[in-house]
Every structure is written in structure tokens, then in C-alpha cells.
């Protein structure tokens, strides 16, 4: 979080604090093109170069998950060695680590230091949760049991027996953290600071005879706990259901949250976009021409949806009917989105009429045939049924073949127009 007088990295890139990594990258590319010194007049070059460096610095921090967490928690003090801008008080790295990991690195606030240890929130546990469209339509309560790590109830997370005195961990020298080498790519290594696995970050160890009998000095135990999540009706893909404080517990830390991200499973009948639904409406050729009154669809809550289509209103392939208020429910109130029905006309099979008189009778009922196109010379040609237009131009070297001409950011033309039912 930026302090008073400190430039906000999110403002530099013109993005929200909730921006995704992809949005951070796009914003940096945009800023880099705008402020690159080679792209501006000479009299603006010095100012542009400064802004270019600011954008690069912002991207360097916000594109790295760990650095971004540090910045969101402490601002530029975590990187520049000062808090609150020039002239501000010095920041102690031990203080930052204390808040990040729940312990100190020696010195004030750490083991043997004089300041109080400030507990931090432990890590969150995130996972996807698959839900059907029916469950999102009606809402759902899910009860389940989970194995959970909890602070030992006997030793209260110390790892030792009552009145037993620990000794400083030999591996981390009482700091709770150790240096480690991690491979980040082929032939590329990085030195980083990690939790000491010998003392589990406490900086202290107990002799075997002094260890807690329940947790065996590990400071935590496992237990099974009943949990419950409620998915409100109308919830959407990507929404997060949070169980506050229900993640694994760690000594000297506030428990993190369990976060479920909703993943909507594909539906056989309906498609969803926002609060609106769409489905296919299949009608016979007779119904398309003469109307109908029947149940055409079973909704997500089991109700039948009946349409009364009067005579004289023709339905054509790819027509669209809109039914207001039959989409997904909104989370608040009784309002719902709309339901769009895309018309599919089911034509009869070949030779469905059995004699010439039937064809002649049908021809007298239907609209007359279209006139022939006038031409000086006429050839009667052979043809093939069932051709695939997607094969047009295949393997002929034309660069336009199979090219996607639509811009992903622009709405496509030629979409079916929907009539309100």
C-alpha cells in the first residue's frame, strides 16, 4: 500500500489493485510504447525516460507474485529501504519478515528481542469447485469434512512440555529462516530465504524427552472438521466462496481462509452469458409455418416452458425468440435475466410424400416458385448434397482460407436478431 507522498505503482500502469498478471503485462506494454525515449521529440525525452523507468520498475514488482505481496503490504519501503518517501524512517527487514511469516530474524521483535511479535495471517488455501448450472440457478449448500492442521491443544503450539526450556535451533541459529538454493530454470539457480524445516520456523527446538507427547514437537496436529459452504443462487463462473479462518493453522499466526473458486460445468441444453440463458428451440416445418402451442423446454428448476405461437407468424431457421424474466436469478431480489431461444427448423426427410398428387397439392398451398434468373446461355449442371462450406479453398494456397476475421474485442456482425415473446 502506497504511503502519503509515495507514487502508487498501480497508478503508474493505470490499473486496478485487483489486476490479473495478464492485465499487468498489457498495461506495461502500453506504457512502454507511450514513454519510450526513442518515440518522443527530443525536448520531451528526459521526462519520458523518467516515466519509462517508473513503468519498468512498476512492472518488475507487480509482475512478481512475491514482490507484489510485499508491495501491497508495505509499499515501496520493502524495496527502497524507506517508508513514507524520502526522509521517512528506516524499515527493518526483520519487521517485514515478522509480519510475513509470523516470527523474527533476531534483533527487535525476534527471538531474544525486546519488541512484541506481531502475528500475521497464515496462507490461504485456494481450490476450484465445480458446480452445475442447475445448482447455480437454485443455490446450494455443501457440507463436507476436511482434514485440517491445527495448533496443538496440549502445548499451545510451543512443541514442548510444560515448563520445559527450548534451545536455539542449530540449523537456523534461532532465526527461523535459512538460506536455500532453488532452481528456476535450466542452469539457473536463485538464492532465497525459506522456513527452517528443523524448527518449523520457531527458531527453537526441544530435546526429545522435553517434546510434547501429542504433537511430538511438531507444534501442530491433524484433526477432521465439518465445514459448510453456501453457494447463493445466481452465482457466476469465477466467483469466490470464502471460509474465513478455516485454512490450516500455524503457530503464532492468524489462520488463513479456504477459498473456493466456482467453475461452471457445461450444460447439455442451456448456455449462459451473464444473467441471460440461451437454448435451442427445435420446431417441425409444419410448426414453423402454421404455429403451435406446446411445452418446448424443461427449465433448470424442472418447470415446463410452454409457447403459444399463433398462425400467421412464420419461424425461420436461426430466428431468435426472447422470453423476458426466464434467465438466471439475480442474487438480490426476485429479478431474473432473459431466456433466448435460437430456432432450429426440422425439415422432413427425403421422399416424405409418397405420390405426385401429394406434391401437387402441397405446391398449390405453398408460395409460388421463384422466377428463373435470366441468362443468354444456360447449362444444367450436376451437384452434390451435404457439402461443407468450411472446406472452401482448402489446400489451395489462398492466405484467406480459414482466417479468423473477427476481432476478439469487437462484437461480431450478423448475429441472430431476437424477437420478444
139-179 tens-digit pLDDT: 999 998 889 999 999 988 888 898 888 888 888 888 878 88
In a domain, 117, yes or no: no
**Least confident range of 80-89, 131-140, 306-315, 386-395:** 80-89
The pLDDT of residue 49 is: 81
CA 254, CA 262: separation in Å to the nearest integer? 25
Kindly tell me if the per-residue pLDDT of 36 is higher than 90.
no
Q: Which of 68, 91, 114 is the last residue of a domain?
A: 91
CA 26, CA 19: separation in Å to the nearest integer? 10
327 and 240 housed in the same domain? no
What mean pLDDT, rounded, does the chain reach?
81
Do 55 and 35 form a contact (C-beta atoms < 8 A)? yes
State the pairing for strand pair 258-264/125-131: parallel
The pLDDT of residue 85 is: 39
In a domain, 390, yes or no: no
In a domain, 336, yes or no: yes
Q: Which of 149, 300, 145, 121 is nearest to 229 (CA)?
A: 145
Reduced to 3 states, what is the DSSP secondary structure of residue 43?
helix
277 and 417 housed in the same domain? yes
In a domain, 315, yes or no: yes
* Segment 217-241 mean pLDDT: 91
Confidence of residue 203 (pLDDT cuts 50, 70, 90): confident
The pLDDT of residue 205 is: 86
The pLDDT of residue 305 is: 96
260 and 136 housed in the same domain? yes
Do 225 and 145 form a contact (C-beta atoms < 8 A)? yes
252 and 307 housed in the same domain? no
CA 88, CA 228: separation in Å to the nearest integer? 47
71 and 147 housed in the same domain? no
Do 343 and 283 form a contact (C-beta atoms < 8 A)? yes
Kindly tell me if the per-residue pLDDT of 92 is higher than 70.
no
331 and 356 housed in the same domain? yes
State the pairing for strand pair 320-323/339-346: antiparallel
Residue 40: CATH number of its domain:
1.10.287.110
Q: 205-224 burial by CB neighbour count: b if 16+ within 10 A, else e?
A: bbeeebbbeebebbbbbeee
In a domain, 193, yes or no: no
277 and 259 housed in the same domain? no
225 and 360 housed in the same domain? no
Do 299 and 396 form a contact (C-beta atoms < 8 A)? no
249 and 271 housed in the same domain? no
Tell me the percentage of the chain whose pLDDT exceeds 70: 82
Other Cβ atoms within 10 Å of 159 Cβ, number? 25
* Segment 220-224 mean pLDDT: 91
**Segments forming the whole domain that contains residue 253:** 122-159+219-266
131 and 254 housed in the same domain? yes
In a domain, 250, yes or no: yes
Reduced to 3 states, what is the DSSP secondary structure of residue 238?
coil
The pLDDT of residue 402 is: 58
> Which has more confidence, 56 or 319?
319
The pLDDT of residue 83 is: 39
Rg (CA), the chain: 34
Against a cut of 0.75, is the pTM above it? no
The pLDDT of residue 330 is: 92
CA 210, CA 164: separation in Å to the nearest integer? 6
Kindly tell me if the per-residue pLDDT of 93 is higher than 80.
no
In a domain, 280, yes or no: yes
The pLDDT of residue 338 is: 96
Tally of structural domains, the chain: 3
Please list the helix, strand and coil fractions of the chain in percent, rounded to the nearest 5, in that order. Answer: 25, 25, 50
Confidence of residue 112 (pLDDT cuts 50, 70, 90): very low
In sequence order, the β-bridge partners of residue 179 are: 193
Do 263 and 132 form a contact (C-beta atoms < 8 A)? no
135 and 237 housed in the same domain? yes
Q: How many residues does the chain have?
A: 421
Reduced to 3 states, what is the DSSP secondary structure of residue 352?
coil
327-342 tens-digit pLDDT: 999 988 889 999 999 9
261 and 279 housed in the same domain? no
Residue 256: CATH number of its domain:
2.60.260.20
374-383 tens-digit pLDDT: 999 999 888 8
In a domain, 271, yes or no: yes
Kindly tell me if the per-residue pLDDT of 227 is higher than 80.
yes
Tell me the percentage of the chain whose pLDDT exceeds 90: 34
Amino acid at each position: 500500500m502506497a504511503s502519503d507522498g509515495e507514487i502508487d505503482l498501480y497508478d503508474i500502469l493505470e490499473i486496478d489493485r485487483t489486476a490479473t498478471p495478464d492485465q499487468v503485462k498489457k498495461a506495461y506494454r502500453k506504457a512502454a510504447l507511450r514513454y519510450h525515449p526513442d518515440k518522443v521529440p527530443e525536448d520531451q525525452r528526459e521526462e519520458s525516460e523518467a516515466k519509462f523507468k517508473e513503468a519498468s520498475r512498476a512492472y518488475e514488482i507487480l509482475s512478481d507474485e512475491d514482490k507484489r505481496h510485499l508491495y501491497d503490504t508495505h509499499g515501496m519501503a520493502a524495496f527502497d529501504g524507506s517508508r513514507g518517501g524520502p526522509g521517512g524512517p528506516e524499515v527493518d527487514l526483520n519487521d517485514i519478515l515478522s509480519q510475513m511469516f509470523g516470527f523474527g530474524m533476531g534483533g527487535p521483535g525476534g527471538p531474544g528481542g525486546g519488541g512484541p511479535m506481531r502475528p500475521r495471517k497464515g496462507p490461504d488455501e485456494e481450490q476450484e469447485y465445480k458446480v452445475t448450472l442447475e445448482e447455480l440457478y437454485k443455490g446450494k449448500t455443501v457440507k463436507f469434512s476436511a482434514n485440517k492442521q491445527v495448533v496443538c491443544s496440549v502445548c499451545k503450539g510451543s512443541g514442548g512440555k510444560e515448563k520445559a526450556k527450548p534451545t536455539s535451533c542449530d540449523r537456523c541459529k534461532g532465526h527461523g529462516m535459512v538460506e536455500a538454493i532453488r532452481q528456476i530454470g535450466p542452469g539457473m539457480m536463485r538464492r532465497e530465504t525459506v522456513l527452517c524445516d528443523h524448527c518449523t520456523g520457531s527458531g527453537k527446538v526441544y530435546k526429545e524427552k522435553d517434546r510434547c507427547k501429542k504433537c511430538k514437537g511438531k507444534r501442530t496436529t491433524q484433526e477432521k472438521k465439518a465445514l459448510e459452504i453456501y453457494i447463493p443462487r445466481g452465482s457466476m463462473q469465477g466467483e469466490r466462496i470464502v471460509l474465513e479462518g478455516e485454512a490450516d493453522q500455524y503457530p503464532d499466526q492468524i489462520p488463513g481462509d479456504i477459498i473456493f473458486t466456482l467453475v461452471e460445468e457445461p450444460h447439455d441444453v442451456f448456455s449462459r452469458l451473464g444473467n441471460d440463458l440461451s437454448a435451442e428451440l427445435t420446431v417441425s416445418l409444419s410448426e414453423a409455418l402454421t404455429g403451435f402451442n406446446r411445452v418446448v423446454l424443461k427449465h433448470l428448476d424442472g418447470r415446463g416452458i410452454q409457447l403459444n405461437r399463433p398462425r400467421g407468424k412464420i419461424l425461420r431457421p436461426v430466428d431468435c425468440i426472447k422470453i423476458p424474466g426466464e434467465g438466471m436469478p439475480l442474487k438480490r431480489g426476485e429479478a431474473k435475466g432473459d431466456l433466448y431461444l435460437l430456432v432450429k427448423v426440422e425439415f422432413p426427410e427425403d421422399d416424405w410424400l409418397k405420390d405426385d398428387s401429394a406434391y401437387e397439392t402441397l405446391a398449390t398451398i405453398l408460395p409460388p416458385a421463384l422466377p428463373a434468373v435470366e441468362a443468354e446461355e444456360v447449362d444444367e449442371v450436376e451437384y452434390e448434397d451435404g457439402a461443407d462450406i468450411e472446406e472452401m479453398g482448402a489446400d489451395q494456397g489462398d492466405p484467406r482460407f480459414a482466417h479468423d476475421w473477427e476481432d476478439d474485442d469487437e462484437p461480431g456482425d450478423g448475429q441472430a436478431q431476437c424477437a420478444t415473446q
